[in-house]
Structure 1
Amino acid sequence: MKHILASSIIAFALIFSGCSSVGSSVSHNSGRPDGSISDDMNYFRSLADFLENVPGVSVQGQGNNAYITIRGISSFNTTNEPLYVIDGHAVGNSYIEANRIVTPNDIDYVRVLKGPDAAIYGVRGANGVIEIVTRKV
C-alpha cells in the first residue's frame, strides 16, 4: 500500500513539474530580439516597471520621478541617463519625456543596448540606449 501511494505521489509530481507558471508578466518571446522585455499580461504601469526587469539597469524612484541609469556606462555628457529611442526615433535623455510619450499598454517590448551595441547611436548613446518598440495595430 505504501509503495502504491509513493508511486502515485511521484507520478503526480512528475506530471505537474513540467507546467509553466501562469500569470508571469515578463515574457521573452522568440519573435522579439534577445534580451528584450515584454508584458503580454499588461501588469506594468510605467516604463520603469519594464526597466526594473532588465539586468544592469538601475531604477531609482517611481512614476515620473524615476531616475534610470545603466550599470557600467560612464558619462560623456553632463548626465548619466541613457538615450531613449521610441520606434526608431531618438527622443532624448529624459525618462520623464519618454514616459510621457508612450503608455505601458502600447509597449510591445523594451530592449537595453550597452557598450558596442549602443555605438550605432554615436555619442548620444554613450550612456546606453533604451529602445522602446510599440505594438502595431
Structure 2
Amino acid sequence: MNLKNSFLALFLIAISACGTSKNSSSDTTSLNETLEQKNRMSISLLDQVRRLPGVTLRGGVPVFNKNNNTLVAGGNSEPLYVLDGYIVGNSFRSVNQLVQNTEVAKIEAITGPDASFYGTRGASGVIKISTIR
C-alpha cells in the first residue's frame, strides 16, 4: 500500500510540473515587458532615437542616413518630431525638453513617401514619439 501511495504522489507531481510549463510563456512575456520598461527608464531619449533603423548622430543630434546629395528645404537636416500626435518641430533639443525618457512608450521612424503626410517639414524624415501619459 505504501508503494502505491508513493507512485501516486510521484505521478501527481509529474502532472503538476507539466501543467506549470504553460504559464511559463506568460511569465516570460511579463518578464520581457518588465525588462523593456526598466531599460527604457535607464536609456536616454537621444539613445532611444539613435537606435532607430536608419538614424545616426550628426553634430550631437539625430538625423536619418540619406544621400549627401539630397537637398532639404530650408537647409535643416533634422527630422520632424511628432509627440503624441502634435508636431513639435525640427529640433531634437525642443522635444527632449518636453518628454522624459521614462514616459516614452513607443518611437517610430518614418521616411520616404510615408513622411510626405507631414509636407516639406517632414522632408528629412519624421520621428513619432508616443508617451504613456
| TM-score interval, smaller chain | 0.5 to 0.7
The alpha-carbon deviation at position 76 of structure 1 amounts to: 1.8
Instruction: Count residues with an aligned counterpart.
Output: 100
Q: CA deviation at 1:105?
A: 0.3
- Residue by residue over 1:1-29, the C-alpha shift from the partner in whole angstroms, topping out at 9 and shown as x without a partner, is xxxxxxxxxxxxxxxxxxx8xx989x9xx
Work out the CA distance in 1 between the residues paired with 2:32 and 2:123: 33
* Bigger proportion of residues as helix: 2
1:37-62 Cα shifts (integer Å, max 9, x gaps): xx522221x2211012112101246x
Contact 2:106 2:130 in 1 (8 A): yes
1:1-137 correspondence to structure 2 within 5 Å? 39-41=36-38, 42-44=41-43, 46-60=44-58, 66-72=60-66, 74=70, 75-136=72-133
Show CA shifts across 1:41-99 (max 9, x none): 2221x2211012112101246xxxx3111012631222101000000100111111010
Contiguous gaps of at least 5 residues in structure 2: 1-27
- Give the TM-score taking structure 2 as reference length: 0.65
The one-letter code of the counterpart of 2:114 is D
Call closer, same or farther: CA 1:105–1:115 in 2, change over 3 Å. same
Residue identity in the other structure for 1:130: I
SS at match of 2:77: coil
Q: Which runs of 5+ in 1 are unaligned?
A: 1-19, 28-38
In the superposition, the TM-score normalised over structure 1's length comes to 0.64
Distance 1:78 1:24, change over 3 A: farther
What whole-Å deviation, never above 9, does each CA across 1:97-117 have from its counterpart, x for those lacking one? 010000100110110100011
Cα RMSD after superposing both structures: 2.6
Which consecutive aligned stretches of 4+ in structure 1 deviate over 6 angstroms post-superposition?
none
Q: Percent identity?
A: 35
In the alignment, the residues of structure 1 paired with residue 114 and residue 53 of structure 2 have an alpha-carbon distance, to the nearest angstrom, of 16
